Amino acid sequence: MEDPWRERLSDYLDGELTEEAEAECRRHLGSCPACRNDLAGIERVKRWACQHLAKQPDVDAWPAIQRAIEALGPSSKSLPAGSSSKIAGGRLAVRKRFLAAAVVLLAALALVWRFLPAPPDRHSGQTTSATATADARALAAAAEELAQELKPLETALDSETLGDLEESLAMLETFSAEVADRLEEEPENELLREFLIRSWRMKLQVLRHAASNALNRS
Amino acid sequence: MCLSIALSLLLTLPAVQDAPSTERTIDLASGGQLEVNPINKGSVTISGWDREQVSIKAFHSPRIHFEIQASKRGVKVEERRPVRSALEDVRLEIFVPRETRIQVIGRIPRVEVRGVEGSIFVNTNQGDIFVSRAKGSIRLSSSGGKLRLEEVNGTVQLNTTSQGIVVDGLMGSLEAETVSGDIALSGVRSNRVRATSHQGGISFQGRLDQGGLYDFATDKGSLDLILEQPVDATFTVGTVSGDFQCDFPLGGVVPKKGERFTFSVGEGGAQIELLTFQGPIRIRRR
């Protein structure tokens, strides 16, 4: 049976419980290591989110991630090789939880990006310098950090919202895989590359909004 | 016994619905902030008025409590419910000075904001959001709620995951994104529009601004543009497998699937990019 206090931990942390409920929650935390652990996670996420999402929307990690995606551009070698879609798709079907999808997706993307060859320079046709590589590393690190930080948010979203998000991520994942397959056949097709980048960007936006929604919940 | 229970219910229900359970009026200077956070279920209606006061009426059951805090910065309204209790409908009716900055965060309430000329930020998990006769910076986001704007002037960002977006009457810039919903834009006078959907179609009806930038992209849906005359625009079109129809002459350009192609109409002032993966693209005169 699910612990009813789990979904009230965020309220507790925000001081939104009545005095009586707060005292009861404190007593419960004294005897429940799982809730203590969740509480510590939520605390960590909120700190991280205040820093990255809510307070500084223009300097958070997301624009950097998006820029990095655009700067990198998918290469036909990199996409299906680690196949983020296959990894994420399999676990989605089993776990049926948005955050599992989010975490796996981000981790998989990080894995793929880590091993990306430097993208071709749009003007010279040569591989780019350290900038793109540094962007790739920064992107991978940001995605890994995000994946870790998003985990405790699972308790903060209602089931309908989780369902919506999971469905959207799965839809985008399927589409990415479809485009990636087409790109394998037509590696020079710029239009396909653009659609792939767009689908990645939209996935990240979905995750971003999910994180914001989770943090804004009651 | 049954009769007395029924009578007591009848007596209780109208009290919750018709008379406010919580009512406050607070002075607030123009340019102040109203924060409503969080509202779980029901509806929130915020209207701008010409007084420098905030009027709050909340209709709810006795199990719910509203905490209202006033400071120099603004007014904060918070819903409190007992721990472990089920979500209950509440109805909030709030009037604010027109130039108030509004922030509403909710789980599944329907949120409506009208006649406000400060900034508006609304985020819901599932509730629909409707903004009308508003000015300023407007950011609406929801996972499962529909977004609708009418007669708005400002900088607008709209984002929903699984529902549609409707804009009817906008002057200003617009960014709209949804994963699985449609985006319908009409009466839009803007020099910067970006609309993106994965699954849904996108329609635009209106006049293009000379020098304006317009990006429309959908993976699975269709793109429909109905353009008011005169049209002076450069179109860049790309579709992987969708059909292309256009009422305007293409100047000898032959559309080809899987590749971008560009053509100009009139003096070519506005820049329009249209992308679909598999949906059709239609450009029509009005």
Among A150-159, B86-95, B115-124, B137-146, name the one with the lowest average pLDDT: A150-159
Average pLDDT, chain B: 90
Nearest to A88 by CA among A160, A157, A147, A152: A147
Tell me the whole-structure pTM to 2 decimals. Answer: 0.74
The DSSP-derived string for B206-217 is: E-PPTT-EEEEE
Percentage of residues in chain A having pLDDT higher than 90: 0
Which of A92-101, A199-208, B9-18 tops mean pLDDT? A199-208
How far apart CA B206 and CA A216 sit, in angstroms, is: 36
Per CB-CB distance under 8 Å, the chain A contacts of B78 are 16
- CB of A164 within 8 Å of a chain B CB? The answer is yes
Residue type, A117: P
Residue B15: its pLDDT value, please?
40
Check pLDDT > 80 for residue B7: no
Q: Do B161 and A168 touch (CB under 8 A)?
A: yes
Average pLDDT, chain A: 61
Q: Do A210 and B141 touch (CB under 8 A)?
A: no
Q: Rounded to the nearest 5 degrees, what angle is found at the Cα of B180, between the Cα atoms of B178 and B181?
A: 70
Residue A128: its pLDDT value, please?
39
Per CB-CB distance under 8 Å, the chain A contacts of B197 are none
Residue B13: its pLDDT value, please?
42
- Say how far residue B116 (Cα) sits from the centre of its chain: 14
Confidence of residue A209 (pLDDT cuts 50, 70, 90): confident
How far apart CA A214 and CA A168 sit, in angstroms, is: 16
Answer yes or no: are the C-beta atoms of A92 and A170 closer than 8 Å.
Answer: yes
Nearest to B257 by CA among A22, A182, A85: A182
- Say how far residue B29 (Cα) sits from the centre of its chain: 26
Eight-state DSSP code of residue B43: E
Q: Which two tokens stand for residue B267?
A: 């003096």
Confidence of residue A183 (pLDDT cuts 50, 70, 90): confident
Per CB-CB distance under 8 Å, the chain A contacts of B161 are 164-165, 168, 206, 209
Q: Rounded to the nearest 5 degrees, what angle is found at the Cα of B83, between the Cα atoms of B80 and B85?
A: 90
| More confident of the two residues B225 and A131 | B225
Q: Quickly count: other Cβ atoms within 10 Å of residue A31's Cβ.
A: 8
| More confident of the two residues A116 and A20 | A20
Residue A151: its pLDDT value, please?
61
How far apart CA A72 and CA A65 sit, in angstroms, is: 10
When CB atoms are compared, the residue of A171, A192, A216 closest to B179 is: A171
pLDDT mean over B268-284? 94
Q: Do A4 and B84 touch (CB under 8 A)?
A: yes
Per CB-CB distance under 8 Å, the chain B contacts of A202 are 177, 179, 196, 198
Eight-state DSSP code of residue B231: -
Among A64-73, A121-130, B226-235, name the one with the lowest average pLDDT: A121-130
How far apart CA A120 and CA A127 sit, in angstroms, is: 4
Per CB-CB distance under 8 Å, the chain A contacts of B259 are 191
CA-based nearest distance B104→chain A, Å? 10
- CB of A159 within 8 Å of a chain B CB? The answer is no
Check pLDDT > 90 for residue B35: yes
Confidence of residue B227 (pLDDT cuts 50, 70, 90): very high
Confidence of residue B38 (pLDDT cuts 50, 70, 90): confident
Q: Which two tokens stand for residue B268?
A: 């070519």
With H, G, I as helix, E, B as strand and everything else as coil, classify residue A73.
coil
| More confident of the two residues A154 and A59 | A154
Q: Do A172 and B107 touch (CB under 8 A)?
A: no
pLDDT mean over B49-78? 91
Q: Which two tokens stand for residue B26?
A: 């607070």
Per CB-CB distance under 8 Å, the chain B contacts of A192 are 240
How far apart CA B91 and CA B171 sit, in angstroms, is: 31
How far apart CA A164 and CA A209 sit, in angstroms, is: 12
Answer yes or no: are the C-beta atoms of A72 and A121 closer than 8 Å.
Answer: no
pLDDT mean over B211-228? 95
How far apart CA A162 and CA A99 sit, in angstroms, is: 8
Answer yes or no: are the C-beta atoms of A61 and A52 closer than 8 Å.
Answer: yes
Q: Which two tokens stand for residue B46?
A: 């915020």
Answer yes or no: are the C-beta atoms of B152 and B130 closer than 8 Å.
Answer: no
When CB atoms are compared, the residue of A158, A168, A195 closest to B240 is: A195
Confidence of residue B11 (pLDDT cuts 50, 70, 90): very low
Percentage of residues in chain B having pLDDT higher than 70: 93
How far apart CA B201 and CA B224 sit, in angstroms, is: 8
How far apart CA B180 and CA B78 sit, in angstroms, is: 32
Answer yes or no: are the C-beta atoms of B237 and B254 closer than 8 Å.
Answer: no
How far apart CA A8 and CA A39 sit, in angstroms, is: 10
Alpha-carbon dihedral B224, B220, B194, B121, rounded to 10 degrees: 120
Task: Tell me, letter by letter, the H, E, C secondary structure of A86-97.
Answer: HHHHHHHHHHCC
Nearest to A185 by CA among A79, A84, A109, A76: A76
Confidence of residue A155 (pLDDT cuts 50, 70, 90): low
Asked whether the CA dihedral A94, A96, A101, A103 is positive or negative, the reply is negative
| CA contacts within 13 A on the Cβ side of B270 | 26
Terminal-residue alpha carbon distance, chain A: 22
Confidence of residue A116 (pLDDT cuts 50, 70, 90): very low
How far apart CA A12 and CA A155 sit, in angstroms, is: 14
